[in-house]
């Protein structure tokens, strides 16, 4: 009887220790996720172990800007609007960027090209890519004119976007140019699909419902693990069919806090959350760095200390 009591006591103690260890492990994972050191969810890709590629979604307020880094090569997609605080330029410097192999401007609205002239003036640029748009939609804004002047001063030609693929370090880049005729400049947005091993990203500029439909009808591969949501989460983009075809596990909505447009639209945000497990909004989450080792993905807040170590 005494032996049985002793055995029961030991079993109870072991169970208590096991429960404590499980609780501690769960708490550790919770802390890592909340501090941005680790972000995974059930069914998601595992965390990256030795990341050698990175995609930064930069908080530039009410605008878009994405930096792609791999093997010492860099591509900047959009620049946000004019910014007296030099948010984007400081981000690039913190990343150790001296040359942009590609500067892709998805379309010439100010919230996507506002800082482009300063970027062209301040960094070495390999190629500049922009969409070809109808004359009646070509902007006459000062930021657009400044960009053209800055490119001309450095002897750079702006190349029209086309359906093509190229390599950026270890990342394969596929660009899709709109082929339809539209009355809205947003629907001429260059769409980019990035592939690094088993991981993929879809960057959509301000692509709206019409262009989304066109890309699907053309049979373009828009599947991606990470989606940069079109048009800042507006009600003009992100149809159910589009979100289903993309099949993303992560989505990033780039917009400014308390912006006058009401981005992201409440109904659109709810629809995105229906199809995507992990949804981030730069106005709330700040700049985000997605690290890839070709198999796993880790997302965390942009860390200046990590950036000081140099680009991926």
pLDDT in tens, 140-182: 999 999 999 999 999 999 999 999 999 999 999 999 999 989 9
Pair 268, 237: CB distance under 8 Å: yes
pLDDT in tens, 178-218: 998 999 999 999 999 999 999 999 999 999 999 999 999 99
Across the beta sheet with 53-57, the strand order is 158-160, 124-130, 99-104, 73-77, 66-70, 53-57, 288-292, 297-301
Return the structure tokens found at 9: 């006591």
Report pLDDT for 128.
98
Strand 99-104 relative to strand 124-130, pairing: parallel
Report pLDDT for 44.
74
pLDDT of 118 above 70: yes
Among the residue ranges 80-94, 143-157, 293-307, the one predicted with the least confidence is 293-307
Pair 53, 70: CB distance under 8 Å: yes
Domain ranges of the chain: 1-35, 41-307
Q: Output the CA–CA distances (angstroms, integers) from residue 210 to 15, 175, 228, 238, 284, in the order listed.
A: 59, 18, 17, 10, 29
pTM for the model: 0.85
Among the residue ranges 43-52, 224-233, 246-255, 272-281, the one predicted with the least confidence is 43-52
41-307 homologous superfamily: Ribonuclease Z/Hydroxyacylglutathione hydrolase-like (3.60.15.10)
Q: Look at residues 224, 299, 235, 221 and name the one whose alpha carbon lies nearest to residue 271.
A: 235
pLDDT of 60 above 70: yes
């Amino acid at each position: 009887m005494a032996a049985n009591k002793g055995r029961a006591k030991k079993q109870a103690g072991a169970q208590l220790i096991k429960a404590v260890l499980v609780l501690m492990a769960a708490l550790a994972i919770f802390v890592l996720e909340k501090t941005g050191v680790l972000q995974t969810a059930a069914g998601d890709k595992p965390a990256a172990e030795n990341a050698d590629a990175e995609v930064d979604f930069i908080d530039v307020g009410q605008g878009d800007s994405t930096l792609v880094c791999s093997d010492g090569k860099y591509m900047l997609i959009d620049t946000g609007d004019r910014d007296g605080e030099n948010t984007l330029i400081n981000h690039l410097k913190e990343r150790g960027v001296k040359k942009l192999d590609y500067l892709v401007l998805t379309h010439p609205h100010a919230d996507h090209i506002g800082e482009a002239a300063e970027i062209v003036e301040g960094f070495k640029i390999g190629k500049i890519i922009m969409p070809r748009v109808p004359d009646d939609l070509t902007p006459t804004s000062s930021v657009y004119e400044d960009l053209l002047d800055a490119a001309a001063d450095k002897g750079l030609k702006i190349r029209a976007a086309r359906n093509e693929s190229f390599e950026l370090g270890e990342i394969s880049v596929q660009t899709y140019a709109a082929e339809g005729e539209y009355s809205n400049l947003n629907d001429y947005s260059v769409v980019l699909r990035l592939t690094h091993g088993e991981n993929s990203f879809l960057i959509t500029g301000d692509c709206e419902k019409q262009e989304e439909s066109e890309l699907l009808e053309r049979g373009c591969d828009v599947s991606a693990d990470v989606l940069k949501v079109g048009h800042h989460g507006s009600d003009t983009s992100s149809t159910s069919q589009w979100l289903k075809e993309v099949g993303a596990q992560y989505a990033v909505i780039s917009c400014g806090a308390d912006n006058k447009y009401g981005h992201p639209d409440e109904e659109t945000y709810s629809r995105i959350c229906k199809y995507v497990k992990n949804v981030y909004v730069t106005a709330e989450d700040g700049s985000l760095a997605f690290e890839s080792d070709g198999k796993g993905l880790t997302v965390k807040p942009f860390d200046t200390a990590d950036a000081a170590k140099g680009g991926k």
